Amino acid sequence: MAVERTLSIIKPDAVADNVIGKIYTRFEDAGLKVVAAKMMLLSEEKAGGFYAEHKERPFFSELVEFMTSGPVLVQVLEGEGAIAQNRDIMGATNPADAAPGTIRADFAKEVSRNAVHGSDSAASAAREISYFFSESEIFSR
């Protein structure tokens, strides 16, 4: 399998719950390297643009409101099959459906506040990484 990069976000609920380190440990234990990271408070425009594919969904305004409600930690993860690997360790979108031991099962409380984001395909990873990072801010190792 090829080395890939994927875009990950630790969402405002998990930052507020003070579990950044615990979630980073999950990435590292899964063989994913944090090769770029920044903490930021997303504007409505930045959050809405990030989730543009969901613009017509009934939960869109709630999603943008939540994603702008406090700081997030955005990172690029790199590793073998990183995109699928990250989705695996995140667990299902709804924490009620997430497999035991996944990040969402352990750190999220509801579908609308589900602790982490992870790119779902190579195309979305490329778009999402460049949405937050320039190539000079990414440190492969």
Interacting residues with Mg ion (CB under 5 A):
120
Which one of 8, 85, 102, 114 is in contact with ligand DAT (CB under 6 A)? Answer: 114
Cβ burial of 71 (10 Å; 0-12, 13-18, 19+) is middle
Please report whether residue 105 would count as binding ligand DAT according to CB under 6 A: no
**Annotated catalytic residue, options 5, 26, 113, 117:** 117
CA 86 to each of CA 4, 30, 35, 47, 78: distance values in angstroms, whole numbers, following the listed order: 11, 8, 14, 21, 10
Interaction partner, residue 111 (ligand DAT, Mg ion, none; CB < 5-8 Å by kind): ligand DAT
Binding residues for ligand DAT restricted to 54-83, rule: CB under 6 A: 54, 59, 63
What CA–CA distance (Å, rounded) separates 70 from 126? 25
Q: Which residues is 79 bridged to in the sheet? A: 4
Catalytic annotation present for 117: yes
Residue from 20, 33, 34, 120 touching ligand DAT (CB under 6 A): that is 120
